[in-house]
Amino acid sequence: MKVLAVMEERGGGWHPASLEALAAAQRLAAVTDGRASAAVLGADPGERAADFARYELERVCAIGHPVLDPYTADAFTAALEQAIGDLRPDYVLFPHTYRTRDFGPKLAARLGRPFVSDVTAFRTEDNGVVFTRPVFQGKFVADVRIAGDAPHFVSVQAGAFRADAVAAGSCAVEEIGVEIPAEAVRTRPGEPFREEAGAVDLTAAERIVAAGRGVKDESDLEMIRKLAEALGAEVAASRPVCDAGWLPLSRQVGSSGQTVAPKLYVAVGISGAIQHLVGMKGSRVIVAINKDPGAPIFEVADYGIVGDLYEVVPALIEALKTG
């Protein structure tokens, strides 16, 4: 099968999930006796596309048009619709990034196809490919089969495939011209910005104590702060705590917040939805305290205590003082 992996730029380089998607594309090509290619989009992507010429691919497609910079869903959809018409891939793979979420399903829908998002694994079964993706916030995984004509659209979850598994080789860069009328782009994106006020660099912290939905009241964060103090740790949180306004967004760990990899990460009352896990699963030692033994956080934890955090956290503060 012909597999096309769509790469994503970020800050002058490549989004780390791009190479992971490329590794997934090579593997999917291998199990279906096909070849993988990469696609790079931009105003003038030829030079950037050469970054992928050192991998074992059929080719790198440089899809260029001035309207592709800055990114809009309208322009990317129009460009890839045309490129897919030319290249006729069987599968189109994307890294499961915010950008892919913004235009991938739109592109698939334009071609009347479903889009299987956030895939963590795939395998061949009964002469077809079965894709696995998390459901119920990671409590279960679902096996999904795509019916109907190619191309089939799939996005690959960050961390599910290894960027260093991309097989080296060499391939040619091929320029693909597309036509996108300026009026096809209906939205006007502004410059990305960051809110610096009160920003905390959690990535520099050696130890982090993170609070989640299990913390029922803002005043209970005092207990979390005391635990952090006893551990010499920074306080962080999962999304619901920041949504409630109890902690600033700058202390949020996860796909919409910071990605951290401290020596010690203590998750208190965090169930471990995938959006949180992608931001912390690289931590060296992970401790989870949660009342639900089935919570997905225990799938990544080294040590776990199943219990009421309102009993466990004070006991832990006490044990740290006396220990």
- Distance (Å, whole) CA 54 – CA 35: 15
Site for other proteins in 56-95 (CB under 8 A): 73-74, 77
Question: From CA 17, how far away is CA 134, in angstroms rounded?
Answer: 17
Rounded Cα gap, residues 55 and 37, in angstroms = 10
**Given the complex with other proteins, which of 3 and 60 has the nearer CB atom?**
3
Nearest CB to other proteins, comparing residues 30 and 306: 306
Residue 127 within binding range of other proteins, rule CB under 8 A: no
Say how many residues touch other proteins, by CB under 8 A.
96
Closest distance of CB 85 from other proteins, Å: 17
**Which distant-in-sequence residues (6+ apart) come within 8 Å of 45 by Cβ?**
62, 63, 64, 68
What Å distances lie between residue 243 and 126, 208, 214, 238, CA to CA?
45, 19, 14, 9
- The set of residues, in sequence order, having a beta carbon less than 8 Å from that of 190 and lying 6+ positions away, is none
How do beta strands 207-211 and 128-135 pair?
unpaired
Min. distance of Cβ 318 from other proteins in angstroms? Answer: 7
Residues 185-204 touching other proteins, rule: CB under 8 A, are 186-195, 199
The piece of 22-30, 41-49, 84-92, 182-190 that touches other proteins (CB under 8 A) is 182-190
Residue 123 and residue 130 in contact, taking contact as beta carbons nearer than 8 Å: yes
Contact range with other proteins by CB under 8 A, out of 25-33, 86-94, 131-139, 174-182: 131-139
Least distance (Å) from other proteins to the CB of residue 43? 18
| Cis preceding-peptide flag for 296 (omega within 30 of 0) | no
**How many Cβ atoms from other residues are within 10 Å of residue 301's Cβ?**
22
The CA–CA distances, whole Å, from 224 to 21, 247, 262, 298, 304 equal: 37, 12, 17, 20, 17
Q: Does 165 bind other proteins (CB under 8 A)?
A: no
Q: Does 239 bind other proteins (CB under 8 A)?
A: yes
On the CB side of 6, how many CA atoms lie within 13 Å of its CA? 29
The CA distance from 39 to 196, in Å, is 34
CA-to-CA distance for 32 and 26, rounded, in angstroms? 10
Under the binding rule (CB under 8 A), the answer on residue 1 touching other proteins is no
Report, in Å, the least distance between residue 62 CB and other proteins: 24
- Does 216 participate in binding other proteins (rule CB under 8 A)? no
- Of 61 and 316, the one with the shorter C-beta distance to other proteins is 316
Per CB under 8 A, which region of 40-48, 55-63, 128-136, 170-178 contacts other proteins? 128-136
Q: How far is the CB of 180 from other proteins (least distance, A)?
A: 15
Pairwise CA distance, residues 74 & 186, whole Å: 7
Which of 117, 122, 171, 211 lies at the binding interface for other proteins (CB under 8 A)?
Answer: 117
Which span sits near other proteins by CB under 8 A: 24-32, 42-50, 167-175, 181-189?
A: 181-189
Q: With binding defined as CB under 8 A, does residue 207 bind other proteins?
A: yes
Closest approach of other proteins to the CB of residue 131, in Å: 9
Sign of CA dihedral 155, 160, 162, 167: negative
Q: Which is nearer to other proteins, 211 or 301 (CB)?
A: 301
According to the binding rule CB under 8 A, does residue 157 interact with other proteins? Answer: no
Shortest separation between residue 113's beta carbon and other proteins, angstroms: 7
- Shorter beta-carbon distance to other proteins: residue 55 or 115: 115
